[in-house]
Amino acid sequence: MPDRIVTPFTAASTAADVVDGVDLTGRRAIVTGGASGLGIETARALATAGAEVTLAVRDLAAGAAVADDLIATTGNKYIHVAHLELADRAEVAAFVAGWDGPLHILVNNAGVMAAPLSRTPDGWESQFATNHLGHFALATGLHPALAQAGGARVVSVSSSAHLGSAVIFEDINFERRAYEPWAAYGQSKTANVLFAVEAARRWADDGIAVNALHPGGIRTKLQRHVSEEELEAARKAAGSKAVWRTPEQGAATSVLLAASPLVEGATGHYFEDCNEAEPNVPGSRTGVAAYATDPEAASRLWELSSR
């Protein structure tokens, strides 16, 4: 890959490693899903570097407990909590309306994985609605705040599970095909990459960088719908070298894209293991699928999501 972005960091690096020496004083950040798993460690690293961090969460009590812990452990008093239900369009709109001033960092981290079939009141399959449409509405709604910041960064947390499915535009909501939880999850994670590709193109003149990433395999509440047998099978399918990472390691690539000067100017890319991913080799579980970076699919998804 020409000009592939490579950093000194690896799969073993932690979020703390990535922000060591980085100063985010005066920067404002939002982390969705900031009350658990990767969200906590992403927020912790950003707060440690001096950013003002808002945890956008479904469970306000859990968010408040995390905020208290972050304030105590980082010494940063500027940790806020706000309610956000990504599958509810009205709630996303209310969150956006409640934001005031510039936004320098938006980490679209929250998500659901391999959930049983359910649909939003608008008829959207829940994983696609939460993982993609909710974050799309959030990011586009906050676009003026991101543009105001100058040099803002948007981070779209995808997954190697995107290799399991393209976005099936003809039947996104599984109305004419049998529902399969992993296919639905994979489709939503492909959508996260396509969002980064198209947002990078549309927002380049606003100085907004948008990138997607695979955080690696981490044991978090994200897997609450997945059995131990399924998790182990997925780990083995990822290759003999695949190991479970700590949340601190899993957050490293998100934090790299959110805060590191090493990726300044990078936009529209997909990263894994703290480096830009190479194209996927069919049959393998690493790299990025060609359909996930296809500009025509990215544009089509944007138009559909806007409607």
Q: Quickly count: other Cβ atoms within 10 Å of residue 65's Cβ.
A: 13
State the Rg of the chain over Cα.
18
Active site residue 185: yes
What is the rounded (10 degree) CA torsion for 3, 212, 287, 131?
-170
Q: CA-CA distance, 258 to 211, in Å (whole number)?
A: 9
Q: Which of 187, 200, 212 is nearest to 271 (CA)?
A: 212
Q: Which of 120, 65, 64 is nearest to 92 (CA)?
A: 120
For residue 57, the cross-strand partners are 83
Out of 179, 185, 270, 291, the active site residue is 185
Q: Which of 45, 55, 67, 123 is nearest to 95 (CA)?
A: 55
Pairing of the two strands 105-108 and 28-32:
parallel
The catalytic residues are: 185
